[in-house]
Amino acid sequence: MRFLRPLPIAWNMLIDKPSRLALSVMAVAFSVVIMFMELGFFNGSNDSAANLPPHFDCDLILSHKEKNHLKTGEEFPIDWIYKARDVAGVAASVPLYSGADYWWNPQDGSRNRVFTLGVNLDDPMFTTAIIAANRRALQKPGAVIYDRLSRHELGQVESGTTTTLGRIKVTVVGLCELGPNFSYEGHVIMSADTFLLMQNQPRDVIDLGLIRVQPGADVNEVRQRLLAALPPQALLLTPAEINTREIRVTTQRSPAGIVFGIGLVVGFAIGVIICYQILFNEVNDHLPQFATLKAMGHPPRFISGIVLHEAVLMALAGFIPGLIAGFGLYMLIEHFTQIRMFLTPGRVLLIFVLTSGMCLLAGHLALKKVHSTDPADLF
């Protein structure tokens, strides 16, 4: 454990001035909070944009090639659904209608845009358990399932609430959990019949097709057969591929995803600058001690080890309060915006690695000052 030999000296140098150490820890923690927030916004925009794919209960999703996002794009004729049912290996193929409309707040009468989905009640392949639990109630025209994670602007909504959705009166018969995103305040699920009535959309114009393959059938082989049977404009993706596409579109084409991605990089750069200033001052204040160590014959590697151990200690000391503050801010933002801010172990580890890298990079930059110290300056 020779690499730990500089650790006691690094620790003593850091605690030499407790007030300065406290300020340094706060500065690093501030940088950690910035990175947590930018990562939270970045992932929040991606997670909320891709909140539908985890609820698909099918093997393949059929759409038009021009539909580059689940909530935008082209429709296709219902004939594609019928043709898919005749392909070997396909167990079922059903339409899923989707679109946006206005939801009137039942308390104050204000209106906000929600994303609506019209499912096949006999075989929904989307939020299957929730649809099964409310199938009988959803058969009534105007019956809907409300997304209880929707933004507060939509009003206080529970089972039995009646209001206006689009151009029809609706009654909430159940609740689900999907969550809003940066485009829509929430989601509403209903039967295909209620959806077509609300949107005044022809039944033979489809937004998505949900396909289940037969047990034991290879999904990729069935997909190739489907592509051979369907028009060249057809696109077939698995729910996992759809999830990846939603995140890619948000990250690369959505202004929010791009802004937050750049913000994460800027947060890291700000952290490096702050840590460099802290470590540079730390080194500058202890130049006599470094010169003495060099005069005593300690090699440059040992001197570098002291600075880099100081950087690691600062990263550890600043990360913990930054994590606590970041978690609190996540809860606060989620409460006010309803955007899910997931703080997963992988994301915590990523910020810790970035924090350590930030401090080590700053420590590496500060080494030049240490190595330029001449022991003769002491005399």
User: Which pLDDT value is given to residue 375?
Assistant: 67
Residues 6+ apart with CB under 8 A from 305: 3, 5, 6, 10
- The answer to whether residues 195 and 138 touch, using CB atoms and an 8 Å cutoff, is no
Global confidence as pTM? 0.74
Give the rounded distance of the alpha carbon of 340 from its chain centre: 8
Task: Give the pLDDT score at 228.
Answer: 95
Please give the radius of gyration of the chain, using alpha carbons only, rounded to the nearest integer: 29
**Per-residue pLDDT, 293:** 81
Chain segment 220-250, per-residue pLDDT in tens? 999 999 999 999 999 999 999 999 988 888 7
Cα–Cα distance measured from residue 226 to residue 204, given in angstroms and rounded to the nearest whole number: 19
Give pLDDT, residue 379: 55
Q: What is the pLDDT of residue 269?
A: 83
* pLDDT in the model for residue 378: 56
Low-confidence stretches of the chain (pLDDT beneath 50): none
DSSP code of 104? E
The Cα–Cα gap between 128 and 132 comes to 6
Q: How far apart are CA 299 and CA 310, in angstroms?
A: 18
* Span 322-334, pLDDT tens digits: 999 999 998 888 8
